[in-house]
Structure 1
Amino acid sequence: MADTLLLLKRGPGRPMWLRVRKSRPKLMLSRRSRRRLGPLRWCSRRRWRRRLLQAQAAGVDWRESACKGSRAAAPAPEAWRPKNAAPRPAPSPAPAPARRGPAGGPTSPVRHLGPGRALLLLPVEQGFTFSGVCRLTCLYGQVEVFGFTISQGQPAQDAFSACTHSHLTINAVHYSVPEKSKKEMKREARTLLRSHLTLEDRSWAMKNFSPLCSVVLLERVKSSTVDFISSYLGLSDVFLQESPTLQINAQYLALRSVGIRKEKRKKGLHLTESALAALEELVHASCEEVDGCPIILVCGSQDVGKSTFNRYLINQLLNSISCVDYLECDLGQTEFTPPGCISLFNITEPILGPPFTHQRTPQKMVYYGKPSCKEGCENYIEIIKYVFSSYKREAPLIVNTMGWVTDDGLLLLVDLIRLLAPSHVVQFSSAQSKYMPGLSPEYVERTDGLYTKSKSKARNRGFELPEFAENLEFSDEDKECPLIFTEHKLIGVHSEFSFRKTERNRESHNRILRDLAVLGYLGQLLAPTSKVLGPFHGLVPYQVPFNAVALRITHSDVAPTHVLYALNASWVGLCRILDDVRGCTEGPILLAQTPICDCLGFGICRGIDMEKRLYHILTPLPPEQLRSVNCLLVGAVAVPHSVFKSQHGLEGTIPYVTTDYNFKLPGASEKMGIREAQEIPEEKIHPKPKLHRKIS
């Protein structure tokens, strides 16, 4: 009897469960999607499967459905409904404004306007954090993106929100308006939106409009740099990542059509109180005409947010003044150029993205050739003096420094403060960073630098540096008075950035960022209207005769017989020296020491023709600038491995790549330019195209 009761309490048998499972709707996934499902937990896998089925029942693809212009959310499949149930009505394309987000705050209404366009309504003091690339235009109101304020009537701005840095946030700013009623504000907004939106879209915007609301137009942007970087294996998710836990609804489809995705607010940038106070003080000092143009030097150890602070400060300054000068002294993580450069820039446009998305042409640049100066500090200082001499003191100057602040790096920083004479020194510190003494005027005055000695205070509360006077160039008015560097004001900023780097993975992470900067520069090789991305060996290189340029390996001593081996398939700086090297010999012309000269750009030595004695150079520089190039500098900055092994469109034998290589051969070391056993610049050279561009 007990056994009979036990059998009655049991659930349905296994065959019944199998029948129920087989009756469920089938979901066809690719191999890549099945691999993504594997490491997920059971509940996450089930939730993702349900959302994929919703998108499948709607007849759209969950990744590409936004490109088809679908506005409605995916309805539930018919297999989940009772047989006698009435069909559900189609959901409204516009989300209700009272919907609440994950954090409990109001969700920003988003409307799909067609392929590649969406409308975003932001209530006052609300933010919208996103990842991806888009072009945003403020149609009504005022918004702030990474410190730069965009008001109605201003030009559109391209925003790049990548996973390598903090995501960008569009914040609605409280703008001042005259005493107007809500009806008058809606009438004014409807008039401004008339030239951008249809009648139906304007009606939706007015229905969800609230007082002091900002209306932003989001558009898909075509960027050759983004397309070029995303074409490489492993880099396709740099700007836009897919997640199986996302909810596929009308807002998701509208944003995906633009090329962005909404992110959690905590993934955006959050500045500390000390950083906000420092920004306010520096902006106020830069806008005053009494003290002239300030020189702001930003220093601190690695990974404390110096570069992020500099970008935010530049954007805030551009809200009030027309331009800002920027001196790059960090060799490893440069802002506007490939790594290994010391450069001076005049910035007139906001910076809304990571460094590899805004490579720009400098006013003056010198190619140092290495991502660190630990083995050549004296040459590093000389190059900074050479570049700093071009600063005309017509705009505020922001100086970015290295994260090497221990031992000789700290002494080098003291020399740099004495050389540049900044009016403000912003020193970053954090709980995770290494100890660094406060660089107050008293500390700098009594501390010996690496190349300078301490000086006592003069009557004018400054100190003279005659050792730097002969190396700096000033106007006639400045030459009449003695070279005196006044005291600076020290501003301390405590950083609370979340550290994702450790001592173990910091070098690999920094190498990835350097490779992205090189790829961002190489993206200029492709035309903005190019729809097909091809390999580099399909592009037409320039022909440069041996006797037209001089050669120098900056980071290592290489025998003259091996210089061409090190040059082939290498990253080269295209420089201009004062000496005339044309027609000296039949070439190649080798320099005995590394010159301090202007660098006009960069390129890749595509190949070397020994019979015709020609270099084949790939570079985005225009021909009018290439005519003044007479020196090629090869440094420790290498062409990324992905360029050799993962270019889009490569077929058959890959140029310069081999697996049969012996590192025990003389000269087959890292100093010769070989990074891995997969790269060799001589074994397999791809046939050169028949057509060449020649620079005489």
Structure 2
Amino acid sequence: VCSARRPSRRAAAAARTSRTWPRYNPPAAPAPRSSARSSRRPAARCTLWPPCPRPPRTPAPRAPPAARSVASAPRDPPPRTARPVLTFTGRCRLRCLLGAVRVLGFTVEPHQPPLPVLSPPTHCALSLEALPAAHTDRVMARFRPGCAVLLLEHLDTALTRFLLSFPPLCRLFQPPFRRVPPGAAAAHGPRRPDGGTAHSDTETDPDVAAELALLAAVGIVPCGPERGLMLSDSATGALSQLLRVEDEGVPVIMVCGPKSIGKSTFNRYLINLLLNHLPSVEYMECDIGQTEFTPPGCVSLSTVTEPFLGPPFTHQRTPRKMVYYGQSSCEQDTERYIDVVKYVFSSYRKEVPLVINTMGWVKGEGLLLLTDMIRLLSPTHVVQMDVYDWKAMAPLTPESVRVAPGLYTKGQQQGKGKRMDLSAAESWKCSEGEEDASAPDYKLLYVHPEFPGAGAAGEASILRDMSILGYLGQLQPPDVPSVLPLHSIVPYQVPFNAVALRVIHTDVAPSNIMYAVNASWVGLCRIPDEIRCQSAGPVLLTQTPICDCLGFGIVRGVDMEKHLYHILTPVPPQSLRVVNCLLLGNIAVPNCIFVSQEGIEGEIPYVTSEYNYSILGSGKLRKRKCFKQRESTLQCDDT
């Protein structure tokens, strides 16, 4: 059994000085930090064999892990039948040495650099699938056809260390522990690395046990194929058609469907497939509740150049265009949502394929809003994901969209819809030479997924908090092996009159605005108007602007004497120089940031356990969608 030690985590001392907003006083260069070398975990070289029965033979003595890697293979394989697919949970750094493998649609070959692969139990487990080699050289001739040799290394980054530092997330990349009764443990056999028990002779084989132990030391635990992504025939056919369309032109692909149906997983697989043939793919995020590359509450347009092999909180990045909507649902202000989508879509240039992700709100006004988006964005292909009985939503055929009324647009039958103001209605009119917006022409592809959405994803609010934590992980310096608590990082100082302030989701009295801003999640935005304020007080906007968002931050404190905001943000200084607006929405800072950080002594600010929810008005108002408002039958008597 291979033993592995965790990397050393010596804290590196760093001399820090206070930072000021770059527009007024650029921060000084950070003082050099002392480096600390950490011991590395052993790497595992894994060979994926094709399914081929072999007669049992006496296993040869195994060499130490440093000299011989797991399942490293001459012509004769280990004395067991191995599958060409390895489904696992955990995290590792993947490099292909020989052959080729496919993971979440992306093909990994020997000429590519190592890729981080993260497969937490909160989502579908990733699978490594061996592919037949296009060219067989002298080295590959020693192996069976369809074989791949991989180098798996322990993945330890600043992001993973930051996420695992919170007690609720300490087992984030480990499989869920399954309790076994004491009397059943001996009857079922020895325990596996994932917390279960071995039920077959194959799992109790010494070679297999050593392989599982070394893989666990690297950071991954094999699991059953049912935990991984299982593409249905309809999904495979739709992906094949979209790849053929990419060869013919520049498609605009819109993926829609109800909640927890697997839209995000399908988008990741599709984009990774396209990256096998293209240098980049455009991705437009219209689902403000479950975003892919940004914290929640955003509509964004991103240029994807690298495969993303993990859930959203593992690959937070700055998009090419982003607007902070400020809420996880657009039901309260659908008109502003449409304006935001139009503003972001205007930055798309039809040079590379575009994949559009939509919300899971497909009933009632949500379906009408989706009809408006189809007319507005003019996709060439619409991928509709739904169950076989079509209970969630009706088929979005071009004919039905052409005649059906939208929320703000009318179909050819002049159905009812909400009325916009005159300026908004004029912007919806087609210019000369364009086709009628109510008559979209696209190809509809049906996909009936057979995988359970995002696996054991749990509540959507938990995934939103994970995205925020993944974004804040960018504050961790990559060269420091220990985790720096957020309260130990020096924030920026922003004068009140340097930025405008706006609360998006509700009306707040000017006398209470600072209470709302303190300890809040804010969007760092840029408005075209210049901020001019003679006094030192805060600048308040009367309307919510639709403007570029450059990043996010936490208002750590408000200094009323010096008229300063203290903001903690990973946005680089060159981008902060143009920030002149702070937008406060309905996206909250995760609770673990307040209560679970290391090094907190004394009373925790902004947190209390003495709160009585029985007081009238203390709870949060929630919209009841299941009740329909009855039409009033009362008539007014004018006499």
Distance 2:117 2:463 in 1: 19
1:225 aligns with 2:159: yes
Question: Secondary structure at 1:271's aligned position in 2?
Answer: coil
Matched with 1:39 is: none
Displacement of 1:559: 1.1
Q: 3-state SS of the aligned residue for 1:518?
A: helix
Contact 1:549 1:582 in 2 (8 A): no
The one-letter code of the counterpart of 1:142 is A
2:566 matched to 1:616? Answer: yes
User: Are residues 112 and 492 of structure 1, via their aligned partners in 2, closer, same or farther at CA, if it must alter by over 3 Å?
Assistant: farther
Question: Are the structure 2 counterparts of residues 666 and 274 from structure 1 closer, same or farther at C-alpha, using a change threshold of 3 Å?
Answer: closer
- Provide the rounded CA distance (Å) in 1 between the counterparts of 2:573 and 2:43: 48
Secondary structure (helix, strand or coil) at the match of 1:234 reads helix
Confirm or deny: 8 A CA contact 2:252 2:356 kept in the other structure: yes
CA distance in 2, matches of 1:480, 1:487: 18
SS in 2 for 1:137: strand
CA separation of 1:409/1:648 partners in 2, compared to 1, >3 Å: closer, same or farther?
same
- The answer to whether residue 544 in structure 2 is matched with residue 594 in structure 1 is yes
SS at match of 1:522: helix
**Stretches of structure 1 lacking an aligned partner (at least 5 in a row):** 1-54, 73-92, 179-184, 191-205, 458-465, 672-696
Task: Give the equivalent residue in structure 1 for 2:139.
Answer: 188
- Secondary structure of 1:171's match? strand
Equivalent pair of 2:70/2:214 in contact (CA under 8 Å): yes
Over aligned residue pairs, what C-alpha RMSD do you find? 3.7
Q: CA deviation at 1:661?
A: 5.0
Q: If the length of structure 1 is used for normalisation, what is the TM-score?
A: 0.71
Q: Indicate conservation of the 8 Å contact 2:263/2:385, yes or no.
A: yes
Distance 1:455 1:124, change over 3 A: farther
What is the match of residue 528 of structure 2? 578
Secondary structure in structure 1 of the residue aligned to 2:239: helix
How many angstroms does 1:166 deviate by? 0.6
Shift, 1:320, TM fit: 1.1
How big is the shift at 1:482?
A: 2.9
**In structure 2, what is the equivalent of residue 640 of structure 1?**
590
What is the deviation of 1:124?
10
| TM-aligned CA distance change 1:484 to 1:320, over 3 Å | farther
**How many percent of aligned residue pairs carry the same amino acid?**
49
Q: Quickly say closer, same or farther: Cα 1:578–1:117, change in 2 above 3 A.
A: farther
Q: Which whole-Å CA distance do the structure 2 matches of 1:493 and 1:362 have between them?
A: 28
Distance 1:584 1:285, change over 3 A: farther
- 1:467 Cα offset (Å): 9.0
Whether the aligned pair in 2 keeps the contact of 1:116 and 1:259 (CA below 8 Å) is no
Map of 2:221 onto structure 1? 261
Among 168, 188, 195, the alignment partner of 1:244 is 195
Q: 1:236 to 1:299 in 2, by over 3 A?
A: same
Counterpart residue number, 2:309: 352
Secondary structure of the structure 1 residue equivalent to 2:583: strand
**CA pair 94-322 structure 1, distance change in 2 beyond 3 A:** closer
CA–CA separation in structure 1 for the residues paired with 2:326 and 2:250: 31
| Distance of 2:515 and 2:68 partners within structure 1 | 48
- Greater relative contact order: 1 or 2 (C-alpha under 8 angstroms, separation 6 or more)? 2
Matched, 1:481 2:415: no
Distance 1:216 1:379 in 2: 49
CA contact (8 A) 2:301 2:345 kept: yes
In structure 1, which of residues 278, 281, 290 is the aligned counterpart of residue 241 of structure 2?
A: 281
Give the letter aligned to residue 368 of structure 1: Y
C-alpha distance in 1 between matches for 2:113 and 2:566: 40
Deviations 1:357-392 (A, max 9, x none): 011111110000000011110010010001000001
The aligned runs of 1:17-56 (5 Å cut-off) are: none
1:662/1:255 CA distance change after superposition, 3 Å: same
Asked whether the equivalents of residues 282 and 303 of structure 2 are also in contact (C-alpha less than 8 Å), the reply is yes
The offset of 1:570, in angstroms, is 0.6
The residue correspondences of 1:674-693 to structure 2 (distance < 5 A) are none
Deviations along 1:106-153, one digit per CA (max 9) or x if unpaired, are: x9xx99854999676699971111111111111111110100011221
Alpha carbons 2:327, 2:586 under 8 Å: kept:
yes
1:564 aligns with 2:514: yes
Query: Structure 2 matches for 1:498-509, cutoff 5 A?
Result: 498=452, 509=459
Distance 1:595 1:499 in 2: 35
Distance, in Å, in 1 between the alignment partners of 2:412 and 2:68 is: 62
Q: Which residue of 2 aligns with 1:494?
A: 448
User: Superposed, which structure 2 residues align to 1:380-419 within 5 Å?
Assistant: 380-419=337-376
Do 1:120 and 1:217's aligned partners in 2 also have CA atoms closer than 8 Å?
A: no
Is 2:70–2:211's contact at 8 Å kept on the other side of the alignment? no
Q: Does the Cα contact within 8 Å between 2:256 and 2:384 map onto a contact in 1?
A: yes
Q: Deviations over 1:557-578 (max 9, x none)?
A: 1111111111100110001111
Question: Does the 8 Å contact 1:345/1:363 carry over to 2?
Answer: yes
What CA distance in whole angstroms lies between the structure 1 residues aligned with 2:551 and 2:68?
34
Q: Is the 8 A contact 1:534 1:649 kept in 2?
A: no
Partners in 2 of 1:145 and 1:111 — Cα distance?
A: 30
Shift of 1:663: 7.1
Secondary structure (helix, strand or coil) at the match of 1:261 reads: strand
The CA deviation string for residues 374-430 of structure 1, in whole angstroms up to 9 with x for no partner, is 111001001000100000111111110000000000000000000001111110111
**Any conservation in 2 of the 1:605–1:616 contact (CA below 8 Å)?**
yes
Deviation at 1:215, TM superposition (A): 0.9
Q: Which residue of structure 1 aligns with residue 636 of structure 2?
A: none
The aligned runs of 1:106-121 (5 Å cut-off) are: 114=66
Once the two structures are superposed, residues 73-98 of structure 1 have per-residue CA deviations (whole angstroms, 9 ceiling, x without a partner) of xxxxxxxxxxxxxxxxxxxx999999
Q: CA deviation at 1:284?
A: 0.8
| Partner SS, residue 412 of structure 1 | helix
- TM superposition score normalised by structure 2: 0.77
1:177 deviates by: 3.0
2:318 pairs with 357, 361, 382, which one?
361
- Is the partner of 2:582 in helix, strand or coil? strand
Give the drift of 1:606.
0.5
Q: 1:395 to 1:654 in 2, by over 3 A?
A: same
Seen in structure 2, the aligned counterparts of structure 1 residues 379 and 95 have a Cα distance that, compared at 3 Å, is closer
1:628: which partner in 2?
Answer: 578
Which residue identity is paired with 1:633?
L
The residue identity in structure 1 corresponding to 2:374 is: I
2:89 is aligned to 131
Amino acid at match of 1:545: P
- CA 1:97–1:407: 2 relative to 1, 3 Å: closer
Deviations 1:28-72, CA, capped at 9 Å, x for gaps: xxxxxxxxxxxxxxxxxxxxxxxxxxx8xx9x69999xx997999
| Matched residue count | 543
SS at match of 1:310: helix
Distance 2:303 2:114 in 1: 21
**Would the alpha carbon gap of residues 528 and 407 (structure 1) be closer, same or farther in structure 2, given more than 3 Å must change?**
same
Residue in 2 that maps onto 1:20: none
| 1:255 Cα deviation after fit | 1.2
Matched, 1:370 2:304: no
Amino acid of the residue matched to residue 130 of structure 2? A
Letter in 2 for 1:345: S
Q: Does 2:277 match 1:316? A: no
Secondary structure of the 1:317 match is: helix
Give the drift of 1:497: 2.4
Asked if 1:216 is matched to 2:139, the reply is: no
Shift of 1:228: 1.1
The answer to which of 251-260 and 441-450 deviates more is 251-260
Match for residue 234 of structure 1 among 136, 143, 168: 168
Q: What CA deviation, in whole Å up to 9, does each residue of 1:330-352 have, x standing for no partner?
A: 01100110000000011111111
Give how far 1:636 is off: 0.8
**Structure 2 residue 479 is matched with structure 1 residue 545:** no
- Cross-structure match for 2:19: none
Q: 1:479 Cα shift? A: 7.2
Q: Which residue of 2 aligns with 1:155?
A: 113
Secondary structure of the corresponding residue to residue 659 of structure 1:
coil
Match of residue 684 from structure 1: none
8 Å CA contact 2:283–2:355 kept in 1: the answer is: yes
